[in-house]
Amino acid sequence: MNAWTATCLAAAMFFASACGPRTPPALRPDLSDRYRVHVLQPNDTLYRVALRYGVTVEDLVALNEIRDVTKIAAGTRLLIPDGGQSLEIKPRPAEPAPRLSEPAPEPLDACPSRAPVSLPIGAAGYAWPVDGVVLARFGTVDGSPHPGLAIGAPLGTVVWASRAGEVTFSGPQAGFGNVVIVEHGPGAFTVYGRTHLLCVEEGDQVERGQVIARVGDAGGTGVPYLYFELREDGRPIDPQPRLPTMDRPSEVAEARRRGYGVRAWLTPSRIGSAR
């Protein structure tokens, strides 16, 4: 587990919050009159700023000459790259109160007691672990490894076991929220990170489609998502070729429909997104 945790923590640097009493740096005088300006608010992140303006994190870092994304203070004025348009992340409208004849909504702080659901599977027998949209693919972030998928979904969305197996770990990981690891056979594991509620314990036998957790926002980024990793023989591999094809027009269109202001960084080779 140590090597895996270290890899996740390295990739997690993309979600450093803008906080602390540091003095905000001045804008570059040769550029401040040519670009839009965004003033970082407490708990802002580069990822959220990129979402809002429809630009990539890489372009924000390059234009503002940011050398350490963990040392960005609230009040810092960021230049927005050309082409950026303000794309507000709109919250879902409030649901009407249930009638007396309707069942009460399922509490998000409880594990549902339900039978495993039937999920479409890929050629290798794996299913998508959550109903969401891919925000970051398998690859690298600014030269750092991102050995899994970041799948955006509303806070509290149920997380399913991608395949039947035995839970070999269920608990918190420093800097990465609650984590579940399931072994599916010799050398085959799936990892489910950034969850808000754990619904299984170490040693449990789980079926494909069984609820094992709920999606969380462990880093306080305001963008809840599930981190999903597939490992074979001790090495992370790209999960998507082993998962069924999504019946959607495109990841970008689906992301916009769900309220994520994402754009060009949803590509196979570049991520510019979450941990």
Pair 76, 137 in one domain:
no
CATH number at residue 233: 2.70.70.10
Q: How far is CA 145 from CA 134, 166, 221, in A?
A: 17, 27, 20
Task: Please list the pLDDT of the chain residue by residue as tens digits (275 residues).
Answer: 444 433 333 333 333 444 444 444 444 555 556 678 888 887 777 777 877 777 777 788 888 888 777 677 888 888 887 755 443 434 445 556 555 444 445 666 788 877 899 889 898 899 999 988 888 788 776 566 778 888 888 888 999 999 999 999 999 987 678 999 999 988 899 999 989 899 999 999 999 999 999 998 756 667 788 999 999 988 899 999 999 886 544 444 554 455 544 333 333 332 333 33
Contact 163, 209 (CB under 8 A): no
The domain in which residue 248 lies consists of 133-257
Task: Spell out the residues 6+ positions from residue 216 whose beta carbon is closer than 8 angstroms to its own.
Answer: 155, 177, 178, 194, 195, 196, 197, 224
pLDDT at 86: 43
Count of structural domains within the chain: 2
Contact 179, 172 (CB under 8 A): yes
Last residue of a domain, one of 50, 80, 110: 80
Pair 236, 153 in one domain:
yes
CATH number at residue 51: 3.10.350.10
**200 falls within a domain:** yes
Pair 153, 71 in one domain:
no
**70 falls within a domain:** yes
Pair 73, 140 in one domain:
no
pTM value is 0.55
Rounded distance between C-alpha atoms, residue 114 and residue 112, angstroms: 6
**190 falls within a domain:** yes
Pair 50, 151 in one domain:
no
Q: Please give the structure tokens belonging to residue 240.
A: 């998507």
SS3 55: coil
pLDDT at 191: 93
pLDDT at 203: 94
CB atoms within 10 A of CB 45: 23
Rounded distance between C-alpha atoms, residue 245 and residue 243, angstroms: 7
Q: How far is CA 164 from CA 2, 121, 217, 227, in A?
A: 25, 12, 26, 19
**193 falls within a domain:** yes
Contact 127, 192 (CB under 8 A): no
Pair 65, 175 in one domain:
no
